Structure 1
Amino acid sequence: MKKNHVNWGRSSPLERILSAFLIRVKDAASYLIIPPKPHRCNGDEQRYPSKIGNYSKGLPHNELGEVELFAYQAFLTALNTGKPSDFEQIPLGGAVKLTDPQSAYAYELAGPDSHQITLEAPPSFSSAREASEMAELYWRALARDVPFAEYDTNPITQEAAADLSTYSDFGGPKVNGRVTTDTLFRGDKSGDVLGPFLSQFMWKDVPYGADTVVQQYRTTVPKDDHLTDYKEWLKIQNGMLPSTSNVFDTAKRYIRDGRGLSEYVHEDFPYMAVLNACLILLSYGPDALDQNNPYLQSLTQTGFSTFGAPHILDFTARAARAALEAAWFQKFLVHRRLRPEEFGGRVHNTKIGAAQYPIHEDLLSSRVLTEIDKQYGSFLLPVAYAEGCATHPAFPGGHASFASAGVTMLKAFFNESFVIPNPVQASADGLSLIPRGSLLNNW
């Protein structure tokens, strides 16, 4: 080897360049041969000329909270053409802007294009499944201040479980055909009902370099609910700034109830939870790594930029943006699903006789609406944030998308059977952690 020449290892410079090119071409070709699949929505946009079943927050609305059709048509025109100039012509009802609809057109150069990924359509506006999902959200609002540790004994969560058990098409988990306080507000996958309501990764201290992050967060005070006044609700749907503001607790707390969890979601950055989980898992050493990690059996090497901490951390973070691109395509170009906050307006106007919307009787006759009206004097959905929901359609969920992508990365690099030592749960007041004995984690 000549002096000062770099040793390229097993490849010459030209061989390396050609190899890199061929790998990229082969990967791109593998996605090119995947046939396109149809993207199906629930049909509400075609079914209801007044667009009562679709997202429209931020656009101008009439007194019933129905979108002004000229504005919705301008919205559709921009989405159909994809021209930046057309997006600038969308009439807004106030100062709040739409959240990045043009990202629906973005290309991600790693993996399949986001437009090749399909989803099942969400429930339609008038369906029994939609009614049950809304009822669950109303109950979640009523139970927002119930500590997770008290779900088994609190009258609100007991009544919620009993009521949701009566719905003709409830999609959440059940035990012997009934919703229980152990399955209440949980996902429909088998692991979702194991362990406490939150993952250990939301409570455990997070190793952060030479420091440690204690997972106590700012939260709002009990009963700090918003958009239960119709005039304020309508104002927010038009994209105006709220008249009220959130009131914050003076103490930081571990997440111990729905209110604390909602404020965490309100302020987190996209991969914050999975980054914390990754750092916690890395702190447990080689035993927590997937047993197929090629360096675990090596006598002379450990992983670093490949199959080590930099590799794992990079992929955990990188997944978030790709997931959001795929989600935003579905949100704006396929489904444009109504937000629960918007649906609450349809429920309210139906219940007071101001309109007749085709809402399933399972919800209209539910005892949860009686309780909502009793506590708030309206049938609107109480929300945790003064400004209400974000200005992008409801389906698929943004947090659900990037969290799922991040968890998929964690499962690829770590041993899913690894048992997290010394499991904990937040106390009812959120000021301390309580040991959970030999509890298996549900991450």
Structure 2
Amino acid sequence: MTKNKESNNKKNCLIGPLNSIERNEKAFQVRLEAAASQMILPLTKHPCNGDEQLYPTKIGSFTKGLPHNSHGTVDLQAYNQFIKALKTGKERHFESIPLGGDVKLANPQAVYAFDLAGTDCHNLGIAVPPSFNSAWQAGEMAELYWQALTRDVPFLEYGSNPLTMEAASDLSSFSDFRGPKANSKVTTDTLFRGDTPGDLTGPYISQFLLKDIPYGATTIVQRYRTTVTSSDYMTSYDKWLDIQNGSIPAAPLFDPTPRYIRNGRDLGEYVHQDFSFQGPLSACLVLLSYGKGALDESNPYLKSETQGSFITFGAAHILDLVTKVGRAALEAAWFQKYLVHRRLRPEEFGGRVHNHMIGTKCYPINSELLNCKVIGKIFKKFRSYLLPMSYPEGCPIHPAYPAGHAAIAGAGATILKAFFKESFEIPNPVVSSSDGLTLLPYSGEPLTIGGELNKLAANISLGRDTAGVHWRSDGIEGMKLGEAVAISILRDYRATYNEKFSGFSFVKFDGTPITIK
């Protein structure tokens, strides 16, 4: 018998509700309907704060890495080439951008990437950020100065430390400061925190950044490498200008003892060294260790008498989505950064404040910042008005708004809230000791999965502010953008499951409930 005859005599062993042709057609239909549902969405408008058009010298725009003059003002020819490359998307135009030093721009061509699940990154919108001369921006910059001054204050001591008490009082005086408050005042209990449900409950640091992480056949203890006390950078003008022009910085000074995250410096270093979806992945592994009781009640396998979850609605499913959304969230953030806002980084704004205060330039900086208490404290300690940075290199070489870390954290937290029971109370909660060497029992108000996931997203987002590389609004709006990315992906995948499933239900960062059916 020939090989062809043998092949023809073999039976097709496929069983199931659909034959091969039907399955192929159904797979096409699922993909087609997902694409069609995205195609009919209204097109999103993308307004900006107008700073790039308002200031011809681009003092309100991101220019780091390009050549600058002695005042830190960008070379306009270089900036125009940068804009030309973004407008055309052509490789040769990107390769023609003049740089001021050795540091390269961070992946601007990622803004043109497409994804095959969820809403296209160019059709997701965010709020307009503060303008250069606004009271809103003044309040955000004052907060960053205070975060720099209080990096070494343990979170456990915020209520009694003179610096954090001063910070709360000073920030309360700003007319448009948008951080959380109690009775219309910033307090040491609300200081530097996020504004999502659960953010103000319990310790500053989320349980998911403190608890041991089950990692396969081992356990990861969350004591991390941090930097030494008072290791602040870019406080001299010459060093600041070198970094703006793209020079290579010195290495950071590391503490030889790993510690639990106990203060702003530790948190800033965590979000300096973490990989993209590290925080959400760690939280996922901790949550999976809590068993079925922590799963959302809509999970179709919780009531099954004969089946357990795995590839769908189980660990493999959740781990896949919590990591998958990270890249999509970055695509959405990069689009906003490069093609819409091009917002300057806080370190760049600090250079404007410094030159204005010493009289070498005059900038339209809001008077609330120029006359606030923290300005004088910064100068007294560092002999400049520059923003002291946690990282020797300062911020990354891409625009500020929105924060990529925040978008990833917001997307990851949203996936986890969709799969796990938000009201589930975290067992045996802990708080880091003031020296970061031990974990202490926490016995206050119960901490829930939903609240601690929100807090995790805020810790990761605002931890970048503590380091000096982002603004509060970068983080808050970045979280919302990541949430929108995750919701759109959950909605596309909703049609792919065979199980009888009532949909994903959870509470959004703004406190409103949502169900994805």
Shared fold (TM-score, shorter chain, > 0.5): yes
Q: Does 1:268 align with 2:271?
A: no
Deviations 1:320-351 (A, max 9, x none): 00000000000000000000010000000000
Q: Which residue of structure 1 aligns with residue 483 of structure 2? A: none
Shift, 1:183, TM fit: 0.3
Q: Which residue of structure 1 aligns with residue 265 of structure 2? A: 259
Q: Which residue of structure 2 aligns with residue 393 of structure 1? A: 399
Please tell me whether the aligned partners of residues 145 and 374 of structure 2 are also in contact (alpha carbons under 8 angstroms): yes
Pick from 16, 19, 34 the counterpart of residue 23 of structure 2: 16
Pick from 102, 106, 118 the counterpart of residue 99 of structure 1: 106
What amino acid does structure 2 have at the position aligned with 1:54?
S
Deviations 1:124-161 (A, max 9, x none): 00000000000000000000000011000101100000
Deviations 1:92-144 (A, max 9, x none): 00000000011011111101100000011100000000000000000000000
Q: Distance in 1 between matches of 2:403 and 2:363?
A: 25
Q: Distance in 1 between matches of 2:176 and 2:275?
A: 34
Aligned residues: 441
Q: Does 1:277 align with 2:283?
A: yes
Q: Which residue of structure 2 aligns with residue 364 of structure 1? A: 370
Q: Which residue of structure 2 aligns with residue 202 of structure 1? A: 209
Q: Distance in 2 between matches of 1:249 and 1:198?
A: 20
Q: Does 1:119 align with 2:126?
A: yes
Q: Which residue of structure 2 aligns with residue 70 of structure 1? A: 77
Please tell me whether the aligned partners of residues 423 and 439 of structure 1 are also in contact (alpha carbons under 8 angstroms): no
Q: Distance in 1 between matches of 2:429 and 2:115?
A: 38
Match of 2:105, SS?
coil
Match of 2:349, SS?
helix
Q: Which residue of structure 2 aligns with residue 240 of structure 1? A: 247
Q: Does 1:429 align with 2:452?
A: no
Q: Which residue of structure 2 aligns with residue 157 of structure 1? A: 164
Task: Give the alignment's Cα RMSD to 1 decimal.
Answer: 0.9
Pick from 35, 47, 51 the counterpart of residue 40 of structure 1: 47
Q: Which runs of 5+ in 1 are unaligned?
A: none
What amino acid does structure 2 have at the position aligned with 1:157?
T
What amino acid does structure 1 have at the position aligned with 2:47?
R
Deviates more, 1:110-119 or 1:187-196: 187-196
Pick from 380, 383, 390 the counterpart of residue 384 of structure 1: 390
Q: Which residue of structure 1 aligns with residue 189 of structure 2? A: 182
Shift, 1:4, TM fit: 4.8
| Counterparts in 2 of 1:7 and 1:394: CA distance versus 1, 3 Å | same
Q: Which residue of structure 2 aligns with residue 170 of structure 1? A: 177
Shift, 1:3, TM fit: 6.2
Question: Structure 1 stretches (4+) deviating beyond 3 angstroms?
Answer: none
What amino acid does structure 1 have at the position aligned with 2:255?
D
Please report the TM-score for the alignment, with normalisation by the length of structure 2. Answer: 0.84
Q: Does 1:303 align with 2:309?
A: yes
Shift, 1:361, TM fit: 0.5
Q: Distance in 2 between matches of 1:426 and 1:320?
A: 28
| Counterparts in 2 of 1:383 and 1:26: CA distance versus 1, 3 Å | same
Aligned-residue sequence identity (percent) comes to 59
Shift, 1:438, TM fit: 5.1
What amino acid does structure 1 have at the position aligned with 2:127?
E
Q: Does 1:218 align with 2:193?
A: no
What amino acid does structure 1 have at the position aligned with 2:257?
A
Q: Distance in 2 between matches of 1:336 and 1:173?
A: 26
Shift, 1:188, TM fit: 2.4
Match of 1:417, SS?
coil
Q: Distance in 2 between matches of 1:188 and 1:203?
A: 21
Shift, 1:7, TM fit: 2.2
Q: Which runs of 5+ in 2 are unaligned?
A: 1-8, 453-517
Match of 1:192, SS?
coil
What amino acid does structure 2 have at the position aligned with 1:250?
P
Please tell me whether the aligned partners of residues 78 and 87 of structure 1 are also in contact (alpha carbons under 8 angstroms): yes
What amino acid does structure 2 have at the position aligned with 1:294?
P
Match of 1:425, SS?
strand
Please tell me whether the aligned partners of residues 117 and 326 of structure 1 are also in contact (alpha carbons under 8 angstroms): yes
Q: Distance in 2 between matches of 1:166 and 1:332?
A: 33
Q: Distance in 1 between matches of 2:202 and 2:111?
A: 37
Q: Which residue of structure 2 aligns with residue 316 of structure 1? A: 322
Deviations 1:185-204 (A, max 9, x none): 01223422122111100000
Q: Does 1:351 align with 2:357?
A: yes
Please tell me whether the aligned partners of residues 102 and 247 of structure 2 are also in contact (alpha carbons under 8 angstroms): yes
Shift, 1:440, TM fit: 2.1
- 5 Å-filtered alignment, 1:79-98, equals 79-98=86-105
Deviates more, 1:98-107 or 1:29-38: 29-38
What amino acid does structure 2 have at the position aligned with 1:22?
Q
Q: Distance in 1 between matches of 2:278 and 2:200?
A: 23
Please tell me whether the aligned partners of residues 202 and 444 of structure 2 are also in contact (alpha carbons under 8 angstroms): no
Please report the TM-score for the alignment, with normalisation by the length of structure 1. Answer: 0.98
Please tell me whether the aligned partners of residues 422 and 438 of structure 1 are also in contact (alpha carbons under 8 angstroms): no
Pick from 139, 154, 174 the counterpart of residue 132 of structure 1: 139
What amino acid does structure 2 have at the position aligned with 1:216?
R
Q: Which residue of structure 2 aligns with residue 409 of structure 1? A: 415
